[in-house]
């Protein structure tokens, strides 16, 4: 820790700079001469006093900050959105996987069918249309005035052909463009998109959806999905724990257990996506931890979303971690009409997302009646804009031992 007096004479021979840096994660000052900040804050660094500590300013407050927590501004990162790589992955027939996802695709088809009367004469935008299947549902199962099928990747060449092949060229127009760069003849009545990624938000395509909503959706227009929720449940994961951790304890009669910390870092420090959670491994009733209203959600809300949870363990077992998944809801265009739901949870038909498993650093035995409370926070990466980290804080109270209380927190990058 730098003392003030010691640091003053260091000032004389450090390099005086004034540059903007972005905070990668929260920092809580442990001394009066330090400056606290939260992930995403912009800090003005006046002096890189030494390698580890810099003299910085944030909204008029000054203090020492740990340089390891900072990164040059987004403009410094050649490609914060990694759009080149992102759109190229969608130029391939990755769309095949999504088209093969029956619950996903059928839900969107059902939305169009059940709103077909109300869609008559309406203008629809399908954002990130891929092969254009949702636009084709609109063109073939309803009578909209126009459908703008917007797709930034090279798959749009195929989309043009599919529109003609399915005799929708009178209604569906394909725009090969990033939706944010579009110039359209009119605003739209309905903005439909299938934007959801792992843990609902990964890839943050949702930012594009919100920006296009603000620019092109008529007042009172409909967003499909209309709302989305993230669910969480405490769970067992014996198979994962045994294959990735216990595996090292007796390997062909040999003891490889000194590799377990490496395995912990390798396999359990990040979320496991496409995890198929067996409903019997749920230790409690799942709960919604985050709910998004797609008509009012703002881009700035995406920086940090959090929700609390409180589970009562309903069956004794081993708490290996938590599993998350999302649901999206499609409100009816008809006043009072019923909503449709796409649920990607363990109790619904499996989708290509499946669920996301967050493994704790060690299994914890739990009994029926124990209480697992805490909070989950999705913190968007201030530099790599399609990434986020998910922090889970939990505390366990035991029904049979009121003196016991274990509190822990773990941060999972997805994926930076």
Contact between 230 and ligand 6LC by CB under 6 A: the answer reads no
* DSSP secondary structure string for all residues of 5-73: HHHHHHHHHSEEEEEEEEESS-B--SSTTB--B-TT-EEEEEEE-SSSEEEEEETTEEEEEEGGGEEE-
Among the residue ranges 190-198, 235-243, 254-262, 295-303, the one whose residues contact ligand 6LC (CB under 6 A): 190-198
Contact between 34 and ligand 6LC by CB under 6 A: the answer reads no
**CB distance 19 to 72 below 8 Å:** yes
Residue nearest to ligand 6LC (CB): 128
SS3 for 113?
A: helix
Task: Measure the CA–CA gap between 271 and 267, rounded to whole angstroms.
Answer: 9
Task: Measure the CA–CA gap between 107 and 110, rounded to whole angstroms.
Answer: 5
Please give the helix or strand (H or E) that residue 88 lies within, else none.
Answer: helix 83-89
Question: In terms of CB distance, is 158 or 272 closer to ligand 6LC?
Answer: 158
Contact between 292 and ligand 6LC by CB under 6 A: the answer reads no
Closest approach of Cβ 220 to ligand 6LC, in Å? 24
- The interface with ligand 6LC within residues 114-153 (CB under 6 A) comprises 128, 130, 150-153
Contact between 101 and ligand 6LC by CB under 6 A: the answer reads no
Q: How many CA atoms lie within 13 A of 156 on its CB side?
A: 20
- In the set 84, 203, 341, 367, the catalytic residue is 203
Contact between 40 and ligand 6LC by CB under 6 A: the answer reads no
| Residue 232 φ/ψ, nearest 5 degrees | -140, 150
Residues β-bridged to residue 223: 191
Contact between 205 and ligand 6LC by CB under 6 A: the answer reads yes
Query: Residues 239-278: x/- map of binding to ligand 6LC (CB under 6 A)?
Result: ----------------------------------------
β-strands 272-275, 172-176 pairing: unpaired
Closest approach of Cβ 30 to ligand 6LC, in Å? 40
* Sequence-distant (≥ 6) Cβ neighbours of residue 310 within 8 angstroms: 287, 371, 372, 373
* DSSP secondary structure string for all residues of 133-194: HHHHHHHHHS--SEEEEEE-STTHHHHHHHHHHTT-TTTEEEEES-GGG---SS-EEEEEE-
Contact between 208 and ligand 6LC by CB under 6 A: the answer reads yes
- The interface with ligand 6LC within residues 321-350 (CB under 6 A) comprises none
Question: In terms of CB distance, is 18 or 154 closer to ligand 6LC?
Answer: 154
Contact between 187 and ligand 6LC by CB under 6 A: the answer reads no
- In the set 106, 194, 303, 308, the catalytic residue is 194
Closest approach of Cβ 157 to ligand 6LC, in Å? 12
Among the residue ranges 194-202, 244-252, 367-375, 395-403, the one whose residues contact ligand 6LC (CB under 6 A): 194-202
**CB distance 98 to 104 below 8 Å:** yes
Structure token digits, residue 170: 């009178």
Catalytic site residue 203? Answer: yes
Contact between 203 and ligand 6LC by CB under 6 A: the answer reads yes
Closest approach of Cβ 194 to ligand 6LC, in Å? 5
Residue 158 burial (CB count, 10 A) = 18
Contact between 195 and ligand 6LC by CB under 6 A: the answer reads yes
Catalytic site residue 78? Answer: no
Total chain residues near ligand 6LC (CB under 6 A) = 19
Contact between 284 and ligand 6LC by CB under 6 A: the answer reads no
Closest C-alpha among 201, 223, 227 to residue 214? 223
Alpha carbon 272 to its chain's center: 13
Active site residues: 194, 203
Which residues lie near ligand 6LC (CB under 6 A)?
Answer: 87, 90, 128, 130, 150-153, 155, 178-180, 194-197, 203, 205, 208
């Amino acid at each position: 820790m730098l003392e003030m007096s010691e640091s003053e004479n260091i000032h004389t021979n450090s390099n005086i700079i004034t540059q903007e840096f972005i905070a990668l994660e929260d920092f809580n000052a442990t001394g009066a001469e330090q400056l606290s900040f939260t992930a995403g804050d912009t800090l003005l660094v006046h002096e890189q006093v030494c390698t580890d500590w810099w003299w910085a300013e944030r909204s008029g407050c000054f203090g020492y900050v740990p340089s390891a927590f900072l990164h040059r501004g987004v403009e410094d990162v050649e490609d914060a959105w990694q759009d080149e790589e992102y759109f190229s992955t969608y130029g391939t027939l990755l769309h095949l996987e999504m088209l093969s996802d029956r619950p996903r695709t059928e839900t969107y088809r059902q939305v169009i069918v059940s709103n077909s009367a109300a869609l008559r004469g309406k203008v629809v935008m399908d954002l990130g249309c891929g092969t254009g299947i949702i636009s084709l549902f609109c063109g073939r199962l309803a009578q909209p005035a126009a459908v703008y099928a917007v797709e930034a990747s090279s798959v749009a060449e195929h989309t043009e052909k599919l529109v003609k092949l399915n005799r929708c060229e009178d209604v569906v127009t394909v725009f090969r463009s990033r939706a944010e760069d579009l110039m359209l003849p009119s605003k739209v009545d309905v903005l439909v998109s299938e934007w959801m990624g792992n843990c609902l938000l990964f890839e943050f395509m949702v930012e594009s959806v919100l920006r296009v909503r603000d620019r092109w959706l008529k007042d009172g227009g409909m967003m499909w999905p209309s709302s989305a929720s993230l669910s969480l449940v405490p769970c067992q994961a014996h198979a994962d724990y045994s294959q990735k951790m216990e595996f090292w304890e007796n390997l062909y009669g040999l003891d490889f257990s000194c590799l377990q910390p490496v395995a912990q870092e390798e396999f359990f420090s990040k979320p496991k996506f496409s995890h198929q959670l067996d409903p019997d491994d749920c230790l409690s009733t799942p709960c919604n931890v985050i709910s998004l209203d797609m008509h009012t959600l703002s881009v700035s809300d995406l920086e940090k979303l959090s929700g609390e949870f409180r589970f009562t363990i309903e069956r004794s077992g081993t708490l290996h971690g938590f599993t998350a998944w999302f649901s999206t809801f499609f409100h009816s265009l008809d006043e009072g009409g019923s909503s449709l739901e796409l649920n990607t949870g363990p109790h619904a038909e499996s989708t290509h997302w499946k669920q996301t498993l967050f493994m704790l650093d060690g299994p914890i035995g739990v009994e029926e009646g124990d209480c697992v409370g805490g909070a989950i926070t999705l913190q968007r990466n201030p530099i790599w804009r399609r990434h986020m980290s998910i922090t889970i804080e939990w505390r366990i109270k035991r029904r049979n031992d009121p003196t016991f209380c274990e509190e822990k927190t773990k941060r999972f990058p997805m994926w930076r």
